[in-house]
Amino acid sequence: MKRTHIAIGLAATIPIIRNNPTGLWGILGATTPDLDYLFGVKHRTITHSLLSLVVSAFTFSLVNRWIGLVWFISYGLHLVADSFTVMGVPFLYPWDKKKYGAKKIKTRSAEDWFIQMLAMMFIVYVYLLK
Ligand SMILES: [Zn+2]
């Protein structure tokens, strides 16, 4: 879910964002892979590939390296998180269309909510209650 991706991205990148607040823009990378429908491409194809991750993160790093770094981490974690879902992720698209991953979790299932809650609790306990 979108919220799960944002929570996971923030849990991993808050230290960077704290030191360099402009990096917060990079958190958009947590949800961008699922905007594939806006680009008219099939869901979980090119936007869920390592190629898109590297090209987009590199492009943003040219604008601002902190945005590029947060983008890389949050986009990358989106792909990793999706690889645990039943559908999997075509990491090597367009060369290999096979979808990889553990393929165990259903989107919007109890596990999805649990991971989202864990990420939010991590943010609260590790960063906010210090
Ligand atoms: Zn996705």
pLDDT at 128: 85
C-alpha distances in Å from residue 107, one per residue of 63, 115, 119, 126: 33, 11, 16, 26
Whether omega before 94 lies within 30 degrees of 0, making that bond cis, reads yes
Q: What is the pLDDT of residue 105?
A: 87
- Torsion, Cα of 44, 82, 22, 122 (10° steps): 170
Its pTM surpasses 0.95: no
In the reported structure, the alpha carbon of residue 88 is separated from the centroid of ligand 1 by a whole-number distance in angstroms of: 9
Please tell me the predicted confidence (pLDDT) of residue 117.
93
Q: Give per-residue pLDDT as tens, 44-72.
A: 999 999 999 999 999 999 999 999 999 99
Cα(105) to ligand 1 centroid in Å equals: 13
Instruction: Report d(CA 88, CA 105) in Å as an integer.
Output: 10
CB 99 within 8 A of CB 93: no
Question: Ligand 1 center to residue 13 CA distance, Å?
Answer: 19
For residue 36, how far is its CA from the centre of ligand 1 (angstroms)? 9
Predicted pLDDT of residue 1: 86
| Structure tokens belonging to residue 116 | 């989202």
Q: Can you give the pLDDT of all 130 residues of the chain as single tens digits?
A: 899 999 999 999 999 999 999 999 999 999 999 999 998 999 999 999 999 999 999 999 999 999 999 999 999 999 999 999 999 999 999 999 999 999 888 888 898 899 999 999 999 998 888 7
Going from the Cα of 93 to the center of ligand 1, the distance in angstroms, rounded, reads 14
Q: For residue 129, what pLDDT is reported?
A: 85
Q: In angstroms, what is the span from residue 56 Cα to ligand 1's centroid?
A: 15
Return residues with CB closer than 5 A to ligand 1 (ion).
Answer: 33-34, 82
